[in-house]
Structure 1
Amino acid sequence: MTRINKHQTKFFFIMMSLLLFIFSGCGSPSKESDSALDSEAIRESRISELENSDLVGNVDAYAAIEGMLAEGPAPTPAKVFIIENDESVEGDAGEKYVYSRHYLDLPEELQAKSDAEMNVLVKLRQYYMETGTYSNEGIAYTRYVQITILDRAAGTIIHQETMIGSAPFSISEGESAGYGYVPEYQVLEKILEFFGYAEE
């Protein structure tokens, strides 16, 4: 009888320990998961606000802005908006621009909140160029990203450079093309660098 009670007691303590482990965190979302969900919800809210703003409403007008090249610093404080060419548009239809998601990754103090506030426009033009061929006659393409930063009030291009992607990757015998890329995070880093935000 005593032996049975010991087994029952041991079983009871094991079950209680297991239940405590589950309810103490294993069975509920972690703080990291909650934080990630909160960040995603905030981002989605910002996207919704942006897409209903006059910034997005004026993208076509921003795409037409040109300026004389006059390298110099950004106005202070800089309030920035970023647009990029829409690569889904066929070449024959002409170039079309949309707002860039890089805008959402800018520090809060750099983000223009309205057309009236925006004094710096960043235009990204992204494209591929044929840069070689493979032994199977496949074509090698390299990615280019042209960054143009305009002082809206002065009507000048205060910075312009082109980032060149990595060498095109090798391809298998059955593939017809290989591509070299410019990582998106490097484009953002290059923009931030101009505004004095050094990489941490």
Structure 2
Amino acid sequence: MIKNNKRRCTFFFIMSVLLFIFSGCGSSSEEAASSSDPEAIRESQISELENSDLIGNVDAYAAIQGVLAESAAPTPAKVFIIENDESVEEGAGEKYVYSPHYFDLPEELQAKSDAEMNVLVKLRSYYMETGTYSNEGIAYTRYVQITILDRAAGTIIHEETMIGSAPFSISEDQSAGYGYVPEYQVLEKILAYFGYSEE
């Protein structure tokens, strides 16, 4: 009877240890999987940004102006990017929000706080009427204005405007056609200024 109890205790002890080991391995593999999951990484980055004081200062950043004085960025550059919110109705005034391009910057370029941020990139996107079609439809071209400011110096250290592709052809029942600036090209322009280029 005593031997049977000892065997049972030993069996349960071994099973408990094995269960603990396997559950530990499972959770670590899940953590490893989530750490390499792009969506999980992006969610973590958004959470980190929302907990910083950068978000709360977007309106103040949007109001920053400067005299154009083309020059290199300060070293090390710690960058934050904002862009105009195109969902705001025309006539309601321009509104800026943080730009998703911020998350695509190399880690060493990303400012993590208001105190650290010394370079501000402002993106302003808009459409302009650039022609008409044979069915009297309107052709629009997209423009993206990139303004890079040295916050400490109070100067615009780089400014350029990207012009979208020619508006696409449209069918007879369409009233407008649009030319675009691909988002990846906007990011490439920003990175090129800071010395990052695609190999």
TM-score, normalised relative to structure 2: 0.82
The 3 A distance-change label for structure 1 pair 114 and 36 is closer
Matched with 2:106 is 107
Whether 1:168 aligns to 2:159 is: no
Provide the rounded CA distance (Å) in 2 between the counterparts of 1:137 and 1:157: 40
Matched with 1:184 is 183
Whether 1:134 aligns to 2:121 is: no
Whether 1:122 aligns to 2:121 is: yes
Matched with 1:97 is 96
3-state SS in 1 of match to 2:54? helix
Deviations 1:91-138 (A, max 9, x none): 211000000000000000000000000000000000000000000000
Instruction: Give structure 2 stretches of 5+ with no counterpart.
Output: 1-32
AA aligned to 1:148 is: T
Aligned residues: 167
AA aligned to 1:139 is: I
Provide the rounded CA distance (Å) in 2 between the counterparts of 1:53 and 1:135: 52
Instruction: Give structure 1 stretches of 5+ with no counterpart.
Output: 1-33
TM-score, normalised relative to structure 1: 0.81
Deviation, structure 1 residue 52: 2.6
Provide the rounded CA distance (Å) in 2 between the counterparts of 1:196 and 1:37: 27
Kindly, what percent of the aligned residue pairs are identical? 87
Deviations 1:141-168 (A, max 9, x none): 0000000000000000000000000000
Provide the rounded CA distance (Å) in 2 between the counterparts of 1:152 and 1:89: 27
AA aligned to 1:59 is: V
Where does structure 1 differ by over 2 angstroms across 4 or more consecutive aligned residues?
34-37
Deviations 1:69-98 (A, max 9, x none): 000000000000000000000121100000
The 3 A distance-change label for structure 1 pair 162 and 40 is same
Deviations 1:2-25 (A, max 9, x none): xxxxxxxxxxxxxxxxxxxxxxxx
Matched with 1:5 is none
